[in-house]
């Protein structure tokens, strides 16, 4: 991705989360944020700590809302908060095919 | 074949065997939902609202109940409160509360045909007579038929509790707003040499499956129920009916009948819970079958829509900006496919600057259901017309324009993630190299148009078992109702893995108690996801065959190989053994062999299609004749090429119907005026030429056999392709469907008037 090379060597790589357009109000307009975490659960938790309220838009009963699909490294994932991510992963929250919206 | 990256050395896959269900179907032995009959069975009928929008003040059933032969009547009072939440059911989301309100209207009738009450009687005629004796007092309200009316300030509100995130606690008819954006829109348009902006309107259309909805419900006194019905998803019928009826899922068994067409429309429920409710009240099996008029008035067509597209390109033909506003009619309850439409509308192209706003709007029409690539056809009509205009402005061939801007592996999708291996460019090249596109079209009022389309395809959950019989033949059992020849594909995958002749594998679609959970047949997912489960189940059987042969030969399993349908001991120390030879030894080596697998499939490969169509327009009437039509589609590996071609032809035919004739026609009171196939005009074989197909096989790396979904994307390009062809034939850009004779003639007369006027001015 080229991102790791541009980074000073003493900073650990972190997954990138791409924020859906309508949730960018929580991130001050930021589209891409780097968030620590080894799973979607950790990413969402840390996202919520950094940008209060955004986690509630993504979660329902402790898991990803049924109206939201999670893409990890270009593939629609199926494990909700249980899916793991790597330090170079790119994660997108997108509307589920059936609708409902982010 | 225009292109193929599928490399497997297949023996069965890629051949064209006769479908296993073929004989039953051509001899009339196949059992469809309405064919089921049971001793003591009663017949149900549904009373439907004659009003598009009305409060229901009271329902009196006393007189109807007194009619001899009437056994029970149910209204919404017989339904428990269902939960208000969103659940994904294939390509459409479902809210159990709204679903319950659709099954039987609660306090409001929300469209012409909305179910109000259901009757069970000893004959269909008595049940129908009883409907006339039910007294309903309505307070008629103004109908809200279009997104324009629904979104006007002060518009009548359909659902008093409906809110969206942006309007706070204000009652609204706008259920959802989606937005996708990237780059700098203003800078993008500034860099454009040509900018085209148009507004498009598409009519609500129906899937037009020939077999009407049907259900037989049997409720036993022990609280267990069985439903026989025509459905694309037996497990969905079970779980949705359980929610609407307040029953445990495990207390309902659903037996999927043969299905006479679905195209997405049979992925939800209408009659199923009514049949169980009436059976519970009467203690007898109850059958309900819709009439054609009921199907059109009260099942789930797809959305009409209003779409505004502004797109810019540089003069060398690079797309630089797109601004899109779209609103879809959801019908009476939230859940149009506008989100999917928004994600598809510019999916085939790399555009660095875009903004898409999409709105789901409730109107007094039937609740929309899935229809083949839901939402994408409306969207492509708009975007692919604009693309055609921009190509013309730039003086570039429309296919070259698409190839120049088309997405390839690694390009970002509208929603952000990059595409994996895809075959969009190959579909354009396949059309460009086709005999059709290379041929000359001559003659007055004739034109050729092209357009492209995208659809995601779906993964989801599937289960399969492969049973090896005592003589070495096999059956493969899945939970996927077969709506497009998928049983043949399941048998072929099993036969390929186990090295059996395909005639030795019997494919079965099981009921909900006889196979593990399997999601709906929809999203072009069956050959992909259920096929993946079948592949894994056959591999599981293969592993067990190796273990058994090792046992017989007194060797370790890793000393035995399975290839070309034969078991071999490494080093050829013993003669190879076929499955047929091994099968009699199953009892002494551990018992029967059953391979099984369940998947929640990842690795979905999206689909692209490009369509070329030649038309001739009658200058006096505006009637459009399709002269020739060719579709190229990326199928990934085509398991059974004939059925892939059949899907491509079927989708194209439906798209042409949508383009030229089909529309829900409501009067000013909101009453549907064309609820029959005489007036709701679908194309027949007399209206269409043989549709030529080019199967592009760009393997999907996410599937063990390279499979993508093939059932949907071919419906996406035809509406735009026909519009572009009409433009080349008569110089008129059509922006409204259907492009039926009256509409096209009006546009042509207006165009002639303006050209004559400008000629006179010159």
Domain assignment of residue B586, yes or no: yes
Domain boundaries, chain A: 20-95
Please indicate, yes or no, whether residues B665 and B586 belong to a single structural domain of this protein. Answer: no
Domain assignment of residue B154, yes or no: no
Residues of B designated catalytic: 712
Q: Residue B590 CB: number of other CB atoms within 10 A? A: 12
User: How long is chain B?
Assistant: 762
Query: Is any Cβ of chain B less than 8 angstroms from the Cβ of A6?
Result: no
Please indicate, yes or no, whether residues B428 and B465 belong to a single structural domain of this protein. Answer: no
Between B339, B456, B602, which is nearest A99 by CB? B339
- pLDDT range class, residue A67, cuts 50, 70, 90: confident
Residues from chain A contacting residue B604 (CB–CB below 8 Å): 75-76
Query: Is any Cβ of chain A less than 8 angstroms from the Cβ of B178?
Result: yes
Percentage of residues in chain A with pLDDT exceeding 70?
A: 85
Flag if B343 and A90 touch (Cβ within 8 Å): no
Residue ranges of chain B with per-residue pLDDT less than 70: 1-7, 89-91, 757-762
Please check whether residue B376 is in contact with residue B524, taking contact to mean a CB–CB distance below 8 angstroms.
no
Between B90, B181, B416, which is nearest A94 by CB? B416
**Which residue range(s) make up the domain with B557?**
460-601
Please check whether residue B697 is in contact with residue B2, taking contact to mean a CB–CB distance below 8 angstroms.
no
Please indicate, yes or no, whether residues B567 and B642 belong to a single structural domain of this protein. Answer: no
Query: Is any Cβ of chain B less than 8 angstroms from the Cβ of A29?
Result: no
Q: Identify the bridge partners of residue B406 per DSSP, sorted by sequence position.
A: B349
Please indicate, yes or no, whether residues B682 and B716 belong to a single structural domain of this protein. Answer: yes
Is it the case that residue A66 has pLDDT exceeding 90?
no
Domain assignment of residue B584, yes or no: yes
How far does B649 lie from chain A, in Å, by closest CA?
Answer: 24
Q: Of B538, B573, B601, at which residue does a domain stop?
A: B601
B688: tokens are 């269409």
Flag if B459 and A78 touch (Cβ within 8 Å): yes
Task: Give the class (CATH, top level) of A20-95.
Answer: alpha beta
Q: Of B576, B601, B626, at which residue does a domain stop?
A: B601
Query: Is any Cβ of chain A less than 8 angstroms from the Cβ of B409?
Result: no
Query: Is any Cβ of chain A less than 8 angstroms from the Cβ of B417?
Result: yes
pTM of the model: 0.95
Using CA atoms, how far apart are residues B70 and B127, in angstroms rounded to an integer?
7
Please indicate, yes or no, whether residues B617 and B725 belong to a single structural domain of this protein. Answer: yes
Please indicate, yes or no, whether residues B614 and B584 belong to a single structural domain of this protein. Answer: no
Using CA atoms, how far apart are residues B111 and B405, in angstroms rounded to an integer?
43
The domain total for chain B is 2
Q: Of B601, B634, B667, at which residue does a domain stop?
A: B601
Q: Return the pLDDT at B1.
A: 37
How far does A39 lie from chain B, in Å, by closest CA?
Answer: 17
Domain assignment of residue B237, yes or no: no
Query: Is any Cβ of chain A less than 8 angstroms from the Cβ of B162?
Result: no
Residues from chain B contacting residue A85 (CB–CB below 8 Å): none
Residue labelled with tokens 């001991």: B569
Flag if A66 and B459 touch (Cβ within 8 Å): no
Domain assignment of residue B534, yes or no: yes
Please indicate, yes or no, whether residues B722 and B761 belong to a single structural domain of this protein. Answer: yes
Is it the case that residue A6 has pLDDT exceeding 80?
no
Nearest C-alpha in B relative to A61: B85
Please indicate, yes or no, whether residues B655 and B725 belong to a single structural domain of this protein. Answer: yes
Interface test with A, best of B86, B355, B360, B523 (most A CBs within 10 A): B86
Please indicate, yes or no, whether residues B753 and B661 belong to a single structural domain of this protein. Answer: yes
Chain A to chain B Cβ contacts (< 8 Å):
87
Q: Please, which residues have CB within 8 angstroms of residue B716's CB and are 6 or more apart in sequence?
A: B344, B373, B376, B377, B380, B452, B453, B454, B455, B609, B651, B655
Please indicate, yes or no, whether residues B642 and B691 belong to a single structural domain of this protein. Answer: yes
Phi/psi at B283 (nearest 5 deg)?
Answer: 75, 10
Burial of B301 (0-12, 13-18, 19+ CB in 10 A): buried
Residues from chain B contacting residue A65 (CB–CB below 8 Å): 86
Q: Please, which residues have CB within 8 angstroms of residue B571's CB and are 6 or more apart in sequence?
A: none
Between A90, A96, A101, which is nearest B176 by CB? A101
Query: Is any Cβ of chain B less than 8 angstroms from the Cβ of A13?
Result: no
Flag if A77 and B602 touch (Cβ within 8 Å): yes
Residues from chain A contacting residue B165 (CB–CB below 8 Å): 22
Nearest C-alpha in B relative to A20: B180
Query: Is any Cβ of chain B less than 8 angstroms from the Cβ of A23?
Result: no
Using CA atoms, how far apart are residues B637 and B703, in angstroms rounded to an integer?
10
Residues from chain B contacting residue A94 (CB–CB below 8 Å): 343, 415-417
DSSP helix/strand/coil, B300: coil
What's the CATH code of the domain at B439? 3.30.365.10
Domain assignment of residue B506, yes or no: yes
B240: tokens are 């949705």
Q: Return the pLDDT at B716.
A: 98
Domain assignment of residue B643, yes or no: yes
State the average pLDDT over residues A13-42: 94
Residues from chain A contacting residue B92 (CB–CB below 8 Å): 98-99
Query: Is any Cβ of chain A less than 8 angstroms from the Cβ of B420?
Result: yes
Q: Return the pLDDT at B83.
A: 86
Q: Which of B258, B257, B261 is nearest to B208 (CA)?
A: B261
Please indicate, yes or no, whether residues B468 and B554 belong to a single structural domain of this protein. Answer: yes
Nearest C-alpha in B relative to A90: B417
Please indicate, yes or no, whether residues B539 and B634 belong to a single structural domain of this protein. Answer: no
Residues from chain A contacting residue B338 (CB–CB below 8 Å): 99
């Amino acid at each position: 991705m080229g991102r790791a090379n541009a980074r000073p060597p003493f900073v650990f790589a972190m997954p990138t989360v791409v924020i859906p357009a309508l949730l960018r109000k929580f991130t001050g307009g930021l589209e891409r944020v780097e968030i620590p975490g080894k799973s979607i659960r950790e990413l969402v938790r840390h996202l919520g700590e950094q940008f209060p309220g955004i986690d509630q838009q993504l979660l329902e009963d402790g898991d990803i809302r049924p109206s939201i699909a999670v893409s990890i490294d270009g593939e629609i994932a199926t494990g909700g908060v249980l899916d793991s991510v790597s330090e170079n992963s790119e994660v997108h929250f997108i509307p589920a095919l059936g609708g409902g919206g982010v | 074949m225009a292109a193929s990256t599928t490399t497997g050395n297949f023996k069965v896959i890629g051949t064209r065997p006769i479908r296993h269900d073929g004989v039953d179907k051509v001899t009339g032995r196949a059992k469809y939902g309405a064919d089921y009959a049971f001793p003591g069975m009663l017949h149900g009928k549904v009373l439907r609202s004659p009003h598009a929008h009305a409060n229901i003040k009271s329902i009196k059933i006393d007189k109807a109940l007194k009619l001899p032969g009437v056994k029970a009547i149910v209204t919404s009072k017989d339904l428990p409160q269902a939960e208000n939440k969103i659940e994904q059911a294939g390509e459409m989301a479902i809210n159990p509360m709204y679903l319950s309100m659709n099954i039987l209207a609660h306090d409001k009738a929300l469209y012409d045909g909305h179910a109000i009450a259901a009757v069970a009687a000893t004959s269909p005629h008595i049940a129908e007579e009883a409907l006339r004796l039910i007294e309903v007092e309505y307070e008629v309200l103004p109908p809200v038929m279009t997104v324009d009316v629904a979104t006007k300030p002060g518009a009548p509100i359909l659902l008093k509790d409906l809110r969206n995130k942006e309007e706070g606690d204000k009652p609204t008819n706008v259920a959802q707003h989606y937005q996708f954006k990237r780059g700098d829109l203003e800078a993008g348009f500034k860099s454009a040499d040509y900018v085209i902006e148009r507004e498009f309107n598409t009519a609500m259309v129906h899937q037009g499956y020939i077999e009407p909805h049907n259900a037989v419900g049997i409720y036993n006194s022990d609280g267990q129920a069985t439903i026989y019905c025509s459905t694309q998803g037996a497990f969905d019928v079970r779980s949705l009916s359980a929610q609407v009826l307040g029953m445990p899922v495990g207390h309902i068994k659903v037996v999927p009948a043969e299905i006479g067409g679905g195209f997405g429309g049979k992925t939800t429920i209408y009659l199923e819970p009514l049949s169980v409710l009436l059976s519970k009240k009467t203690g007898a099996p109850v059958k309900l079958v819709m009439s054609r008029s009921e199907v059109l008035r009260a099942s789930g067509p797809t959305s009409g829509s209003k779409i505004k597209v502004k797109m810019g390109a540089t003069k060398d033909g690079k797309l630089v900006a797109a601004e899109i506003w779209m609103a879809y009619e959801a019908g009476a309850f939230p859940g149009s496919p506008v989100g999917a439409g928004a994600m598809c509308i510019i999916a085939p192209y790399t555009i660095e600057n875009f903004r898409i706003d999409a709105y789901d709007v409730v109107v007094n029409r039937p609740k929309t259901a899935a229809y083949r690539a839901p939402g994408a056809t409306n969207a492509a009509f708009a975007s692919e017309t604009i693309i055609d205009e921009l190509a013309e402005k730039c003086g570039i061939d429309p296919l070259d324009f698409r190839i120049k801007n088309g997405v390839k592996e690694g390009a970002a999708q509208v929603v952000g993630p990059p595409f994996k291996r895809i075959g969009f460019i190959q579909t354009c090249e396949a059309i460009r190299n086709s005999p059709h596109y290379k041929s000359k079209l001559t003659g007055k009022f004739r034109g050729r148009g092209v357009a492209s389309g995208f659809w995601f395809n779906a993964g989801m959950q599937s289960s399969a078992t492969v049973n090896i019989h005592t003589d070495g033949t096999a059956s493969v059992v899945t939970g996927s109702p077969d709506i497009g020849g998928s049983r043949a594909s399941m048998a072929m995958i099993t036969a390929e893995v186990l090295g059996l002749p395909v005639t030795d594998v019997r494919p079965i679609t099981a009921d909900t108690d006889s196979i593990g959970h399997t999601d709906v047949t929809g999203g072009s997912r069956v050959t992909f996801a259920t096929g993946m489960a079948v592949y894994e189940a056959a591999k599981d059987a293969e592993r067990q065959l190796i273990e058994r042969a090792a046992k017989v030969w007194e060797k370790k399993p890793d000393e035995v190989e399975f290839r070309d349908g034969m078991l071999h001991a490494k080093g050829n120390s013993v003669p190879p053994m076929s499955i047929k030879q091994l099968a009699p030894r199953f009892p002494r080596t551990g018992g029967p062999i059953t391979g099984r697998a369940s998947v929640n499939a990842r690795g979905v490969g999206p689909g692209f299609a490009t369509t070329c169509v030649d038309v001739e327009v009658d200058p006096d009437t505006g009637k459009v004749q399709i002269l020739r039509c060719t579709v190229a589609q990326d199928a990934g590996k085509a398991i059974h090429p004939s059925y892939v071609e059949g899907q491509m032809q079927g989708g194209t035919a439906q798209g042409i119907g949508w383009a030229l004739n089909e529309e829900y026609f409501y009067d000013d009171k909101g009453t549907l005026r064309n609820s029959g196939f005489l007036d709701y005009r679908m194309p027949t074989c007399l209206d269409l030429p043989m549709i030529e197909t080019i199967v592009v096989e760009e393997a999907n790396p996410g599937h063990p056999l390279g499979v993508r979904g093939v059932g949907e994307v071919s419906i996406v390009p035809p509406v735009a392709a026909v519009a572009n062809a009409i433009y080349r034939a008569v110089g008129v850009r059509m922006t409204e469907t259907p492009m039926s004779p009256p509409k096209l003639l009006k546009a042509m007369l207006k165009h002639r008037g303006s050209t004559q006027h400008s000629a006179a001015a010159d």
